[in-house]
Chain A
Amino acid sequence: MSVDLNPDLSKVASTNGTTPATTKGGKAAGAIATWADDRLGLGGAMKKNIRKVFPDHWSFMLGEIALWSFVVLLLTGVFLTLWFDPSMTEVQYDGAYDPLRGVHMSSAMASTLDISFDVRGGLLMRQMHHWAAMIFIASMMIHMLRVYLTGAFRKPRELNWVIGCLLLLLGTIEGFTGYSLPDDLLSGTGVRAADGFMKASPVIGTYMSFFLFGGEFPGDAIIPRFYAMHILLIPGILLALVAAHMLLLVYHKHTQWPGPGRTEGNVVGYPMLPVYAAKAGGFFFIVFGVITLLGGLFSLNPVWKFGPYDPSKVTAGSQPDWYMGWPDGLLRIIPAWETHIWGITLSWNVMLPILVMPPLMLMILMALPFLEAWITGDKREHHLLQRPRNAPTRTAIMVALMTFYGLSWAAGGNDIIAIKMHLSINQITYFMRGAVFIGPVIAFIITRRWCISLQRHDEGKLLHGYETGVLVRSPAGGYAEKHLPLPEGKAYTLTARDDDPTPETVEEIDASGATGRTARLRKLRAKLATVFFADNVQKPTTEELHESQHHAEHELHELESQIAAGPNRHGPAEH
């Protein structure tokens, strides 16, 4: 989509004003507002914040999807707590769903069935809650990709990045504890798997499992414990972190794309009231609406078909919800590596994909801003975003991580892929074993070169103009496409970026007299920085741009005179 480079700013306030706005006339609403303001003093704080400016771009609204789906989660979640009974007490089901009537099950499962079949609107609420959870985590992830790929995580926003990563982790745990609550066959299988994962931890595994389950699996404590975590502990932390995340957003101010009039020192956009309140408020209703439609139209976790959990039963297609799919995939493809030593079994086949990889990935994610800042040595504040192509190595790192994630994720659905695409599940597994290693490398190389090619394309547009599609035949009979200079605003936007810094060289470090560990670290950093920036295209210099402008003007005149003198100046030749 094209970015509007000349936004209509006529309605944007030109000043924040120095005197507070006062109510005029004796309107009732004004009187109430004054009454409240005299006592709460909100007017002063509001006055500044309702004029707060946000820049306009679709990618800035991805985090909003997460926020609004979280609101839907809170609302539907409260509804569900009114009927859900988080107890593993065995009861005999006698609700409206015939094929399970008389079956013994936990109270949790029975009350989930009651919500689905006997509470008015209950099934819709259940499905909305679950769909909202799936969308909550998905939107956090695409928001995170946006923040990373545009460089919005750079100073001063690194801590907000870390908070975002914690939100992603907590959202995932919240999701797992949530979908485990109904105590149905599918979720019980998941809890059984979690029990196995814990028991795979060397030495402390069994203790951890007994501690969590209050004894041997399944016991009768896990559902109430998950419930406490799911509706109190984790949402509390989530809310606090969401608040911190958004306060930091307000404090840092929103990043913006470069363009005419946009600098590191300002934010160009529309004020909170009325524009953003309307846009964000409207988006809330859209998110709510889409989730409601999903809840009403698409089946999600039909627990009545799974039946109550029973350790002796299992179903084909037992997968976790999508956000737990990638460790499940790694678990599915890892060879059966085990070590037997001193009567102890070390299950690398469980430890590596489940206990090592997810925490490792999270740590890599959280470390990315700091790693990049260390390698590039960039300690400046950044409020202008970078296009992904202008940081080729960074973009390539994320695409490599996404490729690893995506392949692991697909491996988690290997059985469904096998039956739907008529493949052998073994062959999928063998393929994935190689692909999770090779795929990210290929993706890294392709993305990096692709970005650099796009940079070259930008450079070409700046120096030689854009392709007009006008073909001109020369007197000698040759054909050439005419290029015309970019509009000034576009050219400005393309050049509104910093040149990459020149990394130190090994010789410089040696010359500086640094020795020992410091020197070794500096050399490592210099080498990494050299690789990081290698082959990047720097923006043209002012001289180069001026020269190309003159050239372009000359070409333009030439083209105009050619058109004026040519046989087609009045359209097709007349006979």
Chain B
Amino acid sequence: MLVCGLLLTGGLYAALAPAQADTSQDEAALIKEGRELFLVGCAFCHGQNGEGVLTQGGSQYGPPLTDVGAAAVDFQVATGRMPMAQPGAQAPRKERVYDDEETEALAAYVASLGTGPAIPDKELYSTEGMSDKELEELVVRGGQIFLANCTACHNFEGSGGAMPRGGYAPKIRGVDSKHIYEAMLTGPQSMDTFSDGNIPPEDKKAVIAYLNELDEAPSYSGFTLGGLGPVSEGIIAWVGGIGVLVGFAVWIAAHTTRSSKKKDEAAA
């Protein structure tokens, strides 16, 4: 028994200790690489040590990044929101500037500045390996959590909505599951932070499962017109309904009775 215990402990140590050493070395290298990238691409607004930059008027130019964590960096940089192309009400999603490795380095550097959530592991948001029944229950629960917490800004099918002063809750359909998880965790831009105390990881996964279900489910009812609700429906009623019907009315009134086919041909 004792031998077994020793063997196990020793084996474990042998397996893990060198790896840890490697990891910390890698980590340091990564942070160093991240800092170099940071100084070039981020420091102008966020300060050379991520302490944030104030404008002359005292308002925030770039916020401090000392306690945002790796998850925030991964979300902002991997969705292309950061670096911003120009100041504005909100940083829009755009083509990303940094690739996966660079993003990882930046995240490692910013995470080293202070506290903050780490990049979530895949098992937190992935529904792989769940049985159909489990998944279905998860989707049902996620839908209700989604409707209670998300739709007020992001709309009933995640098509997005308006926020004050030119801000907006972006469309969240077709977004990578990891990024949805990170958004909930870090509350980017005008979004609230849905911490694990507020929406536990299992519920975050449920919301993501529901959004994926919306993406995968067919549109049972035809073209969804952007999934924006009654405004786009009203436009269709007027353009595709009344517009077309008035066109037909003009057509019917323009074609008056014909006495005979022959006469019609003669007239033409």
Contacts and interface: CB of A to CB of B under 8 A. Distances in A.
B29 interface: no
Contacts of B259: 8, 10-11
B98 interface: no
A134 B238 CA distance: 8
Contacts of A422: 166
A226 interface: no
Given A98-B136, A298-B223, A61 B241 contact: no
A502 to B, nearest CB: 37
A287 B233 contact: no
Interface in B209-268: 210, 213-214, 217, 219-225, 227-234, 236-238, 240-242, 244-246, 248-250, 252-254, 256-257, 259
Contact of B151 (A8, A135, A316): A316
B245 A101 contact: no
Contacts of A109: none
Given A142-B242, A294-B240, A424-B165, A185 B231 contact: no
A301 B217 CA distance: 17
A316 B153 contact: yes
Contact of A419 (B168, B225, B253): B168
Contact of B162 (A7, A61, A135, A425): A425
A103 B144 contact: yes
A148 B121 CA distance: 67
Interface in B159-206: 159-166, 168-169
B220 A419 contact: no
Most chain B CB atoms below 10 A, which of A101, A305, A423: A305
A102 interface: yes
Interface in A1-22: 1, 4, 7-8, 10-11
Contacts of B164: 424-426
Interface in A123-162: 123, 127, 131, 134-135, 138-139, 142
A530 B139 CA distance: 70
Contacts of B256: 4, 7-8, 56, 270
Interface string A309-342: 0101111111111100100000000000000000
A318 B163 CA distance: 14
Interface stretch (A211-219, A278-286, A388-396, A557-565): A278-286
B150 to A, nearest CB: 9
A150 B137 CA distance: 61
A62 interface: yes
B84 interface: no
Given A11-B259, A297-B223, A319-B231, A65 B252 contact: no
B229 A139 contact: no
Contacts of B245: 65, 135, 139, 286-287, 290
A58 B249 contact: yes
B157 interface: yes
A7 B255 CA distance: 11
A322 B219 contact: no
Contacts of B169: 316
A301 B233 contact: yes
Given A1-B254, A139-B242, A299-B219, A100 B154 contact: no
Given A316-B161, A322-B238, A415-B162, A307 B249 contact: no
Contacts, number: 219
Interface in B51-65: none
A321 B230 contact: yes
Most chain B CB atoms below 10 A, which of A57, A423, A424: A424
Given A316-B153, A322-B238, A419-B162, A11 B233 contact: no
Interface in A50-65: 56-62, 64-65
A61 B249 contact: yes
A302 B225 CA distance: 11
Interface string A407-436: 000001111101100111111000000000
Interface residues of A, number: 80
B222 A316 contact: no
Contacts of B153: 316
A197 interface: no
B91 interface: no
A296 interface: yes
Contact of B155 (A117, A135, A315): A315
Contacts of A186: 156, 229-230
A445 B147 CA distance: 48
B3 interface: no
Contact of A316 (B140, B154, B237, B240): B154
B152 interface: yes
Contacts of B1: none
B139 A58 contact: no
A61 B245 CA distance: 10
Nearest to A429: B164
B148 interface: yes
Nearest to A316: B161
Contacts of B224: 299, 302
B242 A117 contact: no
A317 B257 contact: no
A291 B231 CA distance: 18
Contacts of A99: 139-140, 143, 210, 213, 217
B161 A419 contact: yes
B89 interface: yes
Contacts of B151: 185, 313-316
Contacts of B238: 138, 322
Given A286-B245, A413-B231, A416-B228, A306 B222 contact: no
Nearest to A306: B156
Interface string B34-61: 0000000000000000000000000000
Contacts of A4: 256
A435 B143 CA distance: 40
A305 B156 contact: yes
Given A131-B237, A286-B252, A424-B165, 10 more contacts: A58-B252, A65-B245, A99-B143, A116-B221, A294-B241, A316-B169, A317-B155, A415-B161, A416-B228, A425-B166
Interface of B: 89, 136-137, 139-140, 143-144, 147-148, 151-157, 159-166, 168-169, 210, 213-214, 217, 219-225, 227-234, 236-238, 240-242, 244-246, 248-250, 252-254, 256-257, 259
Which are the 7 A-B pairs with shortest beta-carbon distances? Answer: A316-B161, A322-B234, A424-B166, A134-B237, A299-B221, A415-B162, A58-B253
Interface of A: 1, 4, 7-8, 10-11, 56-62, 64-65, 98-103, 116-117, 123, 127, 131, 134-135, 138-139, 142, 185-186, 270, 275, 279, 282-283, 286-287, 290-291, 294, 296-302, 304-307, 310, 312-322, 325, 412-416, 418-419, 422-427
8 contacts: A57-B253, A102-B140, A134-B241, A297-B222, A299-B233, A305-B156, A322-B237, A415-B162
